[in-house]
Amino acid sequence: HPIDALIAQLPKTELHLHIEGTLEPELMFALAARNGITLPYADIASLRAAYDFSNLQSFLDLYYAGAGVLQTEQDFYDLTWAYLQRAHADGIVHTEIFFDPQTHTARGIAFATVYHGISRALEEAEAEWGMTSRLIMSFLRHLSEEDGFAVLEQAMPYLSGIDGFGLDSSEAGHPPSKFQRLFARCRQLELPCVAHAGEEGPAAYVCEALDLLQVCRIDHGVRSLEDAALVYRLAAERMPLTVCPLSNIKLKVFADLSQHPLRSMLQAGLVAMVNSDDPAYFGGYLGDNLLACRRALDLGADEIVQLVRNSFEASWLAPAQKADWQ
């Protein structure tokens, strides 16, 4: 299809990517062997066969278990470098990645080990290809706010290399209001905040993320469409929504891609764009997401260009750098 070439050729940015979600089964087995860990799967094929999720939690259980193979700084470097190579091949020129330090510190891995491994790969991508990046430290919402404060304390020596804060993990039952004081502290540090909201949780959680956490982007936000007043507000404020279509299908937020509201979101004037979320688990990287949406929704070239433009607008690149790509 002619638009598929456009998708491949456009310089792109990715704004919603969990680095732990780029752990491909092949690397998971290689790191398990390197670290003397036995995985509860006989081989790569049986691990992949387990990637048949019924909801967000069933995915998270596997994602946190898989992250257990990440132990040394080199492991975090190898993970990040593998993603960056794929991103570069995909035409991504700028990427803003989440990492979940609590997933690792809870297992006795030092914050520094995680941070240095990821950062070194990000620096190399910039030196090698001029690929720019931002690093977003994300809090796990199934844990307590107190636990979040503790990991923030551990992050303090590395804040010069952290560009913002996020909120992820099990959404239902863990509303943004649970983290109001933690995010107030993050804002005092003068770094931007984002939050997953309206993925499985209701539109009211999106309102809470805006009003109580004062986020500058909403991650997912697809359930915002259930509240017309909220849609109006998001459009009026040009509040970005980092939509992840293949993720939404794998986690059964929508039955299939032809039912995905991506086009409706653009038509409502929302600053929505396409992202890959956890590409190793959800069956595709950014290019794959765009191609799949193009096919399922018959997106036109104008819509593809709008999605990519929205992504640059919503990025944390400096205005001059954004202008270079427009």
Selected range binding Zn ion among 1-9, 48-56, 262-270, 274-282, rule: CB under 5 A: 274-282
C-alpha 165/C-alpha 215 separation (Å) is 9
Task: Choose the one of Zn ion, ligand ES4, none that binds residue 96, judging by a C-beta under 5 to 8 angstroms depending on kind.
Answer: none
| Residue 96 touches ligand ES4, criterion: CB under 6 A | no
Residues in contact with 108: Cβ distance below 8 Å, sequence separation at least 6, in sequence order: none
Contact present, 274 and 249 (Cβ < 8 Å) = no
Tokens 């290689």 correspond to 30
303 binds ligand ES4 (CB under 6 A): no
DSSP code of 1?
-
> In this complex, which beta carbon is closest to Zn ion, that of residue 208 or of residue 277?
277
Q: Convert residues 157-176 into a mask of x (bound to ligand ES4 by CB under 6 A) and - (unbound).
A: -----------xx-------
Say whether residue 243 binds ligand ES4 (CB under 6 A): no
Q: Annotated catalytic residue: which of 96, 199, 200, 303?
A: 199
Tell me the two tokens of residue 242: 């980092």
- Select the residue interacting with Zn ion from 277, 289, 290, 317 (CB under 5 A): 277
How far is Cα 89 from Cα 93, in angstroms, rounded to an integer?
10
| Among the listed residues 278, 294, 307, 315, the single contact to ligand ES4 using CB under 6 A | 278
Give the number of residues in contact with ligand ES4, rule: CB under 6 A: 11
Task: Report the alpha-carbon distance of residue 108 to residue 97 in Å, rounded.
Answer: 23
Instruction: Please tell me the distance from the alpha carbon of residue 16 to that of residue 203, in angstroms, as a whole number.
Output: 19
Q: By C-beta, is 200 or 277 nearer to Zn ion?
A: 277
Q: Where are the alpha helices (DSSP H) in the chain?
A: 2-9, 25-34, 44-49, 56-66, 73-89, 101-105, 111-129, 145-155, 180-188, 203-211, 228-236, 245-250, 262-267, 279-282, 286-297, 301-314, 319-325
Output the smallest distance, CB 56 to ligand ES4, in A. 6
Binder of ligand ES4 out of 277, 287, 299, 308 (CB under 6 A): 277
| Residue 26 annotated in active site | no
Binding site for Zn ion (CB under 5 A): 277
Could you list the residues known to form a binding site for substrate, using ranges: 278
Binding site for ligand ES4 (CB under 6 A): 18, 21, 56, 63, 168-169, 196, 199, 247, 277-278
